[in-house]
């Protein structure tokens, strides 16, 4: 790594930071600014972070898996430390003072107060360059001024004043609007497009039929949509080439069946979760400007370099002639891993010879964007006479979780994420079955982890009750990892877990270890007499290693819990033969201000001696199980199917004849 790939100290003393990661609201721009300000010893206000611009940032594979801070923090800190050390060397020569006597303060270098030189003065003739050593020493902890300090988002002022520019707010000269004619069923191709009516409509610039893209470019969006609706199109139904089910063993110990057969107690259960929508509040959008001297893509994307290659490939252009310039984005939770809307805008721009903005409608977003797959999770466990789990059989049936499609090489990490429980179990079999689906499924926050952890943490709760053990104590018997034990015990402590509550109230526990981040939660619910579940309070203790921005971590984890509570109680993407039926917020309700818990208390207790790990996803992972376990505690209803509707709660609460 060369310093100039990551950090540029400008002649005015400001600092520009380059990263291939993307900001969707996770707060990484703020965290990166803090990391660099810390090591470079500059005010955070002087740091500007450039994210994902393929013309300016080093290659990055993508923003997913809550890896941004984990992957970028070491590189950015080393680059900044190297920059600081280089500047001190230059200052020594400039001031005629030995480097050992010089120190940095707020972007200046000197020996005491009298003779100080600004960073900008030291780069005016020669910009910072050079290879950053792997073992570049970092600033000692007593000098830290930004890492570990709570910060509001650096974009906050732009956001609250409306100045923030999102993808659909890009306004460049000559900008036209595009609308896509959608087929009656996904994957159908147009065999004939009659554009006679559309071409005569107001504002229409071009009607485009190029491969899978059929659309209209017009001066205004309403004109483009009206003309797209007026196209007379013959569609050819897609051929259904169902891929075979992939069976991927994730853990296969010998003797599972034998141990199950001889266990003192065995239990089996099946858990189901429906497909759910990413549900970005801002529907997908892109502005693409295809020109003879180069193509610019203004987009939201998890993979700027992947998007560059996808657009270049679709247009038959060399990748280096395409620049992806990521804009601020509505939270997309994985949805922008697919290049679809940018490819559409690119094809329209190429034919119309104008920059084109395409923004999907709300109905298009629900019907045509990828959703989280369904999951059916079958689990059987055996307990020995001492009450410990000795055998575990787990089959996860789901669909592909990534926009790239099924790939057996990564299935364990994607569709099988967190299928292997964090518990010490002597004999376990965990098998992933990735099945075909008529739905378009792809990346969504935490991939399969939220589904798997719902099943595992619900089932462990069931095993505890079946064997008359306290659910927390039962779990702890199977946890060796000290950091996991600590968050579990801490959340029990701060929540007063085990306190007796009133009628139809209960608390449930769940935990996870997700990509190196430890999370334990307690949810408290109240049930109405008719079975409606209300989440009153959630407590969470999270250990993401060294914490860069404690309030940023809290915000992410709170949001994850809130979003997951919405999945758990409300959300289900209904579909028939691959066509999504729930295409509005009316038919696909999510949690509102009225549903928000009274409090979500997140304690950020990172192990500062451990590397930073991510927080964008882990907070959302255990919440469904914590809520389901709380429902059981409140009324004895074990609901194994998400969402936890009142009908399901009532049905599960009915006493079953033994």
* Least separation in angstroms between CB 555 and another protein: 6
Which residues are within 8 A (CB) of 427 and not within 5 positions of it... i.e. 6 or more apart? 253, 254, 255, 256, 259, 390, 391, 392
What separation in angstroms does the CA of 269 have from each of 156, 194, 252, 547, 646?
Answer: 46, 55, 20, 38, 21
Helix (H, G, I), strand (E, B) or coil at 646: helix
Stretch that binds another protein, among 127-135, 163-171, 186-194, 416-424 (CB under 8 A): 163-171
If binding is defined by CB under 8 A, does position 156 make contact with another protein?
Answer: yes
If binding is defined by CB under 8 A, does position 166 make contact with another protein?
Answer: yes
* Least separation in angstroms between CB 470 and another protein: 29
Binding residue for another protein (CB under 8 A) from 255, 498, 584, 611? Answer: 584
If binding is defined by CB under 8 A, does position 196 make contact with another protein?
Answer: no
Outline where 369-516 has alpha helix (H). 449-466, 471-476, 482-495
The dihedral sign for the CA sequence 201, 205, 211, 213: negative
Question: Which letter does DSSP use for residue 12 in this model?
Answer: T
Where in 223-252 is the site for another protein (CB under 8 A)?
223
* Least separation in angstroms between CB 443 and another protein: 15
Residues in binding contact with another protein, number by CB under 8 A: 62
Tell me the backbone φ, ψ of residue 513, rounded to 5 degrees: -120, 110
- Given a contact cutoff of 8 angstroms between Cβ atoms, the answer to whether 285 and 376 are in contact is no
Helix (H, G, I), strand (E, B) or coil at 116: strand
* Least separation in angstroms between CB 237 and another protein: 29
From CA 260, how far away is CA 426, in angstroms rounded?
A: 11
* Least separation in angstroms between CB 106 and another protein: 23
Stretch that binds another protein, among 10-18, 150-158, 243-251, 400-408 (CB under 8 A): 150-158
Where in 542-571 is the site for another protein (CB under 8 A)?
551-552, 555-556, 558-563, 566
Question: Which letter does DSSP use for residue 440 in this model?
Answer: -
* Least separation in angstroms between CB 601 and another protein: 10
Binding residue for another protein (CB under 8 A) from 112, 127, 152, 291? Answer: 152
The nearer residue to another protein, 248 or 285, going by C-beta atoms, is 285
Q: Residue 216, by phi and psi: left (phi above 0), alpha (psi -120 to 50) or beta? A: beta
If binding is defined by CB under 8 A, does position 160 make contact with another protein?
Answer: yes
The nearer residue to another protein, 143 or 220, going by C-beta atoms, is 220
Binding residue for another protein (CB under 8 A) from 94, 101, 220, 651? Answer: 220
Tell me the backbone φ, ψ of residue 61, rounded to 5 degrees: -75, -35
From CA 218, how far away is CA 352, in angstroms rounded?
A: 9
Outline where 191-303 has alpha helix (H). 196-199, 221-229, 256-261
**Residues facing 576 on adjacent strands:** 579
The nearer residue to another protein, 167 or 652, going by C-beta atoms, is 167
Closest CA to 210 of 417, 345, 329, 351: 351
The nearer residue to another protein, 18 or 24, going by C-beta atoms, is 24
Which residues are within 8 A (CB) of 93 and not within 5 positions of it... i.e. 6 or more apart? none
Binding residue for another protein (CB under 8 A) from 13, 52, 107, 279? Answer: 279
Draw the binding track, 295-334, toward another protein (x: CB under 8 A; -: no contact): ---------------------------------xxxx-x-
Stretch that binds another protein, among 55-63, 259-267, 452-460, 594-602 (CB under 8 A): 594-602
What separation in angstroms does the CA of 510 have from each of 271, 534, 561, 601?
Answer: 16, 18, 12, 15
If binding is defined by CB under 8 A, does position 534 make contact with another protein?
Answer: no
Binding residue for another protein (CB under 8 A) from 9, 19, 26, 525? Answer: 26
The dihedral sign for the CA sequence 293, 211, 339, 591: positive
Stretch that binds another protein, among 304-312, 391-399, 449-457, 579-587 (CB under 8 A): 579-587
Binding residue for another protein (CB under 8 A) from 24, 394, 474, 514? Answer: 24
- Given a contact cutoff of 8 angstroms between Cβ atoms, the answer to whether 231 and 181 are in contact is yes
* Least separation in angstroms between CB 455 and another protein: 23
Closest CA to 454 of 344, 371, 372: 372
From CA 456, how far away is CA 568, in angstroms rounded?
A: 15
* Least separation in angstroms between CB 81 and another protein: 28
Binding residue for another protein (CB under 8 A) from 382, 597, 618, 643? Answer: 597
* Least separation in angstroms between CB 332 and another protein: 8
From CA 551, how far away is CA 145, in angstroms rounded?
A: 15
Where in 73-92 is the site for another protein (CB under 8 A)?
none
- Given a contact cutoff of 8 angstroms between Cβ atoms, the answer to whether 246 and 324 are in contact is no
From CA 648, how far away is CA 272, in angstroms rounded?
A: 12
Stretch that binds another protein, among 33-41, 139-147, 518-526, 586-594 (CB under 8 A): 586-594
Question: Which letter does DSSP use for residue 94 in this model?
Answer: H
From CA 500, how far away is CA 448, in angstroms rounded?
A: 34
Stretch that binds another protein, among 1-9, 117-125, 589-597, 636-644 (CB under 8 A): 589-597
* Least separation in angstroms between CB 11 and another protein: 29
Binding residue for another protein (CB under 8 A) from 200, 202, 496, 611? Answer: 202
- Given a contact cutoff of 8 angstroms between Cβ atoms, the answer to whether 272 and 642 are in contact is yes
- Given a contact cutoff of 8 angstroms between Cβ atoms, the answer to whether 381 and 457 are in contact is no
Binding residue for another protein (CB under 8 A) from 221, 435, 457, 605? Answer: 221
Draw the binding track, 388-417, toward another protein (x: CB under 8 A; -: no contact): ------------------------------
If binding is defined by CB under 8 A, does position 110 make contact with another protein?
Answer: no
* Least separation in angstroms between CB 442 and another protein: 17
If binding is defined by CB under 8 A, does position 280 make contact with another protein?
Answer: yes
Where in 342-371 is the site for another protein (CB under 8 A)?
359, 361-362
Q: Which residues bind another protein (CB under 8 A)?
A: 24-27, 152-153, 155-157, 159-166, 168-169, 171, 202-203, 220-223, 279-283, 328-331, 333, 359, 361-362, 551-552, 555-556, 558-563, 566, 584-586, 590-594, 596-597, 599-600
């Amino acid at each position: 790594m060369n310093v100039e790939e990551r950090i540029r100290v400008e002649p005015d003393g400001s600092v520009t930071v380059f990263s291939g990661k993307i900001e969707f609201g996770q707060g990484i721009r703020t965290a990166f600014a803090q990391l660099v300000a810390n090591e470079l010893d500059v005010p955070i206000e002087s740091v500007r972070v450039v994210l994902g611009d393929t013309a300016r940032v080093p290659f990055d594979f993508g923003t997913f898996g809550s890896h941004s801070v984990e992957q970028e923090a070491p590189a950015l800190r080393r680059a900044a430390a190297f920059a600081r050390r280089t500047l001190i060397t230059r200052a020594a020569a400039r001031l005629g003072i030995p480097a050992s006597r010089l120190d940095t303060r707020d972007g200046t270098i000197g020996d005491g107060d009298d003779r100080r030189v600004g960073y900008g003065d030291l780069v005016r003739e020669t910009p910072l360059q050079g290879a950053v050593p792997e073992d570049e020493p970092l600033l000692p902890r007593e000098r830290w001024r930004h890492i570990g300090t709570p910060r509001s988002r650096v974009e906050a002022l732009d956001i609250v004043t409306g100045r923030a520019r999102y993808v659909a707010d890009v306004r460049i000269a000559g900008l036209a609007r595009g609308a896509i004619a959608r087929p009656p069923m996904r994957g159908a191709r147009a065999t004939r497009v009659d554009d006679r009516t559309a071409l005569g409509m107001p504002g229409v610039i071009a009607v485009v039929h190029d491969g899978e893209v059929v659309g209209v470019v017009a001066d205004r969006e309403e004109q483009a949509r009206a003309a797209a609706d007026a196209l007379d199109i013959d569609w050819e139904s897609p051929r259904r080439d169902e891929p075979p089910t992939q069976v991927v063993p994730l853990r296969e110990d010998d003797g599972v069946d034998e141990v199950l057969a001889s266990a003192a107690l065995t239990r089996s259960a099946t858990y189901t979760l429906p497909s759910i929508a990413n549900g970005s509040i801002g529907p997908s959008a892109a502005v693409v400007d295809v020109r003879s001297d180069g193509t610019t893509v203004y987009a939201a994307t998890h993979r700027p370099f992947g998007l560059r290659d996808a657009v270049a490939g679709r247009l038959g252009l060399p990748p280096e002639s395409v620049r992806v310039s990521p804009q601020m984005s509505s939270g997309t939770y994985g949805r922008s891993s697919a290049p679809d809307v940018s490819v559409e805008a690119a094809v329209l721009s190429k034919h119309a010879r104008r920059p084109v903005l395409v923004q999907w409608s709300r109905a298009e977003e629900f019907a045509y964007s990828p959703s989280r797959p369904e999951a059916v999770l079958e689990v059987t466990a055996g307990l020995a006479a001492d009450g410990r789990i000795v055998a575990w059989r787990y089959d996860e049936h789901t669909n592909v979780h990534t926009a790239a499609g099924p790939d057996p090489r990564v299935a364990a990490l994607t569709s099988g994420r967190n299928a292997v429980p964090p518990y010490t179990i002597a004999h376990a079999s965990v098998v992933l079955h990735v099945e075909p689906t008529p739905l378009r499924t792809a990346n969504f926050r935490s991939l399969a982890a939220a589904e798997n952890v719902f099943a595992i943490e619900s089932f462990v709760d069931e095993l505890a009750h079946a064997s008359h053990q306290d659910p927390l104590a039962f779990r702890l018997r199977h946890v060796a990892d000290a950091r996991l034990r600590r968050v579990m015990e801490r959340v029990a402590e701060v929540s007063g877990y085990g306190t007796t509550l009133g009628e139809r109230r209960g608390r449930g526990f769940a935990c996870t270890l997700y990509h190196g981040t430890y999370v334990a939660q307690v949810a408290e619910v109240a049930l109405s007499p008719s079975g409606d579940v209300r989440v009153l309070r959630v407590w969470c203790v999270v250990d993401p290693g060294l914490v860069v921005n404690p309030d940023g971590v809290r915000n992410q984890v709170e949001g994850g819990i809130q979003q997951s509570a919405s999945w758990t109680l409300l959300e289900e993407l209904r579909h028939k033969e691959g066509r999504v039926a729930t295409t509005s917020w009316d038919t696909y309700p999510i949690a509102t201000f009225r549903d928000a818990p009274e409090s979500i208390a997140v304690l950020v207790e990172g192990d500062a001696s451990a590397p930073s790990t991510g927080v964008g996803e882990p907070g959302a992972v255990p919440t469904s199980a914590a809520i389901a376990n709380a429902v059981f505690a409140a009324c004895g209803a074990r609901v194994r199917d998400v969402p936890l509707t009142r009908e399901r709660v009532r049905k599960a609460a009915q006493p079953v004849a033994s």
